[in-house]
Amino acid sequence: MSSPKLLPPTMRPAKRYIAFEIISENPVQYSELVNTIWTSTMNFLGEFGSSELNMWFVHNLYDEKTQKGLIKCSHDSVEHVRVALSLIQIISESRVIVKIMGVTGTIKSARTKYLSIKDLTSFVKEE
């Protein structure tokens, strides 16, 4: 039995990565953040609208110390996700502000531009 063929990159739906930072009175846990974002999205857009966002949380890039993270969504729903994030005011009984740092097309550029995560290529001396 052969494995299914993957779609070529030109036929895949375009996606964007939204880098955000949580400014809060108390530290915010990842699970509480995800629940609050989904609640805000459902209240703002409803079930059907939320499903069309194709929103996905990049779990391994959320840093609980700096409270920075990434959300992946479709390229035409970036503004809807930004509005849903801006509507969040309280997470687990703590006042918060969700600051959108930027939107990129790849995880690599989001890591280097907004999350301040360096890879080995940034340490190579250019001649």
The per-residue pLDDT for range 71-95, each reduced to its tens digit, is: 999 999 999 999 999 999 999 999 9
The pLDDT confidence band at residue 120, using thresholds 50, 70 and 90, is low
- Which structural domain, as residue segments, surrounds residue 88? 26-117
Residue 37 burial by Cβ neighbours in a 10 Å radius (0-12, 13-18, 19+):
buried
Let me know if residue 8 belongs to a domain: no
Q: Rounded to whole angstroms, how far apart are CA atoms 29 and 92? A: 9
d(CA 39, CA 43): 6
Residues 47-65: pLDDT tens digits?
Answer: 999 999 999 999 999 999 9
Stretch 87-109: mean pLDDT: 94
pLDDT at 76: 95
Banded model confidence at residue 121, pLDDT cuts 50, 70, 90: low
The reply to whether 106 falls in a domain is yes
For residue 69, the domain's CATH number is 3.30.70.3250
Residue 82 lies in a domain: yes
Are 56 and 71 in contact by the 8 Å Cβ rule? The answer is: yes
Tally of domains in the chain: 1
